[in-house]
A = this chain, B = another copy of it.
Amino acid sequence: MPLFDQELTVLNVGLSAFADAIRLAGGKAVEIEWSPPAGGDRSAGLTLARLVNDPRVEAANRAAFAAYLAAEPVLEGIGRAAEVIPGLRGRTILHAGPPIAWQKMCGPMQGAVIGAILFEGWASRENAARALAERGEVLFSPCHHHGAVGPMAGVISPSMPVWIVRDPASGRRSFCNLNEGLGKVLRFGANGTEVIERLAWMATTLKTVLEATLGEAGPIALKPLMAQALHMGDEVHNRNTAATSLLLRRLLPPMLRSRASRDDIAAAIAFIAGNDHFFLNLSMAACKAMLDAARDVAGSSMVVAMARNGVEFGIQLSGTGDCWFMTASPVVDGLYFPGYSIADAAPDLGDSAITETAGLGGFAMAAAPAIVKFVGGTPDDAIANTRAMGHVTLGSNGGFTLPAMNFAGTPAGIDARRVLDSGLLPVINTGIAHRQAGIGQIGAGITHAPLACFTQAVTALAATLPDE
């Protein structure tokens, strides 16, 4: 056996026990991380094999990805939700993630809904608000069904102000509510007096100032601003310090030229300057616009939404219309604030994974090494996350470059086939809410989109593409 007389180069795939035996015998073995396609699900694996290299899917993905790249979302204005969001009528409340009934909602989402009912004045006390929801006198609908997105609970009610973002290429509009800051805030399920009063101030003073400012400023292109923030340590999901600062710098001169009063301007500026996350909701609306541009391309396996309602994690593909592919939302094993642990956490929540779907957030972590102080890990992990996502995406976005990776574009356009094939799950930077309403954020961390969503999605896509 001359093979065993020389030094062996052993690559081990699968069970570690084989490599262990070699090591115990004094040899060296490299373990290759590998898992069978579709996590070993034979039926899904066969379906996947049929779609891999299918020229119909390849062509559809090229079209969808090109549409995503071509979108140039601009901040057009701010408006009252009921007046600008299509289909938001009467006692309707929008929420994050796929559809969900009141009874099934997680604590923070129920808390946010109650807060929205109080804010709207449909009830004047918490119990009455809860009863209203339980009696079915409030309609619930996902933000995503209305061209909108919202972070965490993602609750948008008719009287709230929303950002209006337009993509001139498609003519479509996208919407997002305004960021309230940290601490006790509606999106984490808080609904006390300070929360409702802040929402009222945002719907009046802040909206008035921003309306006057944007009227004076004209449309503001969002992609260049986001691209600059990526060069300044943001990934525009969980870190928006630079983007918020740049936005404020952009808004200030028109704000001071506008007809808004000095006191209102001072209050608006203090509010925005005091909240590093203020830009997040604009980032989300911009990402929504880029991905809506890629929707409804028959045969495309490109993911156009990933969203969580705090109970279920859902994704949508360009080639399967408005269908959601859902499974239980994971609980995030992240960095918890002092006094809290994973036992206190609500399952993953919010539409903010729209940023990862657009190639930002966790996909652009290489741009934001400092974020590891917030979500855990090391700067090398941040770069590794971005690099890994290159294996499950259709291309890179040259509009969003990463200095730490020699100005490579951020990986973008998740291909559900590649996720299912490789088992490399889309990485998401996320905040963590307490599972009870009203307590707020208790941590942040990195989570992954569950494989089951992709299994279902690829199976459903295959059903639209009969064998020729």
> Measuring CB to CB, which residues of chain A are less than 8 angstroms from any residue of chain B?
228, 231-234, 241-242, 245-246, 248-250, 252-253, 256-257, 262, 265-266, 269-270, 273-274, 369-370, 372-373, 378-380, 403-407
A379 contact set on B, CB distance < 8 A: 403-407
A-B contact pairs, 25 of them (CB 8 A): A228-B241, A231-B370, A232-B233, A232-B234, A232-B370, A233-B233, A242-B242, A242-B245, A245-B246, A245-B249, A248-B249, A250-B273, A252-B269, A253-B270, A253-B273, A256-B262, A256-B266, A256-B269, A369-B403, A369-B404, A373-B407, A378-B406, A379-B403, A379-B405, A379-B407
- In the complex, are the beta carbons of A242 and B253 less than 8 A apart? no
- The CA-CA distance from A266 to B251 in the complex, in Å, is 11
- The CA-CA distance from A242 to B246 in the complex, in Å, is 8
- In the complex, are the beta carbons of B256 and A265 less than 8 A apart? yes
- The CA-CA distance from A231 to B241 in the complex, in Å, is 10
Closest residue of chain B to A266 (Cβ to Cβ) is B256
- The CA-CA distance from A10 to B231 in the complex, in Å, is 42
- In the complex, are the beta carbons of A266 and B242 less than 8 A apart? no
Chain B nearest CB from A405 CB (Å) reads: 8
CB contact between A248 and one of B248, B380, B407 (< 8 Å): that residue: B248
Closest residue of chain B to A405 (Cβ to Cβ) is B379
Closest residue of chain B to A274 (Cβ to Cβ) is B253
- The CA-CA distance from A269 to B406 in the complex, in Å, is 34
A248 contact set on B, CB distance < 8 A: 245, 248-249, 252
Chain B nearest CB from A263 CB (Å) reads: 9
A246 contact set on B, CB distance < 8 A: 245
Chain B nearest CB from A57 CB (Å) reads: 36
Chain B nearest CB from A192 CB (Å) reads: 25
Chain B nearest CB from A241 CB (Å) reads: 6
A380 contact set on B, CB distance < 8 A: 406
A241 contact set on B, CB distance < 8 A: 228, 232
Knowing that A231-B370, A256-B269 are A-B contacts, what are 11 other residue pairs whose CB atoms are under 8 Å apart, sorted by A's residue number?
A228-B241, A231-B233, A232-B232, A245-B245, A245-B246, A248-B249, A252-B252, A252-B269, A253-B270, A378-B406, A379-B404
- The CA-CA distance from A373 to B231 in the complex, in Å, is 11
- The CA-CA distance from A381 to B249 in the complex, in Å, is 31
- The CA-CA distance from A262 to B256 in the complex, in Å, is 7
Chain B nearest CB from A238 CB (Å) reads: 14
Closest residue of chain B to A245 (Cβ to Cβ) is B245
- In the complex, are the beta carbons of A273 and B252 less than 8 A apart? yes
Chain B nearest CB from A397 CB (Å) reads: 17
- The CA-CA distance from A466 to B403 in the complex, in Å, is 50
- In the complex, are the beta carbons of A269 and B253 less than 8 A apart? yes
Chain B nearest CB from A262 CB (Å) reads: 6
Closest residue of chain B to A228 (Cβ to Cβ) is B241
A252 contact set on B, CB distance < 8 A: 248, 252, 269-270, 273
Chain B nearest CB from A254 CB (Å) reads: 10
- The CA-CA distance from A234 to B231 in the complex, in Å, is 9
A269 contact set on B, CB distance < 8 A: 252-253, 256
- In the complex, are the beta carbons of A257 and B249 less than 8 A apart? no
A231 contact set on B, CB distance < 8 A: 233, 370
Closest residue of chain B to A249 (Cβ to Cβ) is B273
A242 contact set on B, CB distance < 8 A: 232-233, 242, 245
Chain B nearest CB from A3 CB (Å) reads: 23
Closest residue of chain B to A378 (Cβ to Cβ) is B406
A249 contact set on B, CB distance < 8 A: 245, 248, 273
Chain B nearest CB from A274 CB (Å) reads: 8
Chain B nearest CB from A215 CB (Å) reads: 16
Those 5 A-B pairs whose CB atoms lie nearest each other, nearest first: A369-B403, A245-B245, A256-B266, A231-B370, A249-B273
Closest residue of chain B to A248 (Cβ to Cβ) is B249
- The CA-CA distance from A372 to B406 in the complex, in Å, is 10
- In the complex, are the beta carbons of A266 and B245 less than 8 A apart? no
A405 contact set on B, CB distance < 8 A: 379
Closest residue of chain B to A265 (Cβ to Cβ) is B256
- The CA-CA distance from A231 to B319 in the complex, in Å, is 40
Chain B nearest CB from A236 CB (Å) reads: 13
A257 contact set on B, CB distance < 8 A: 266
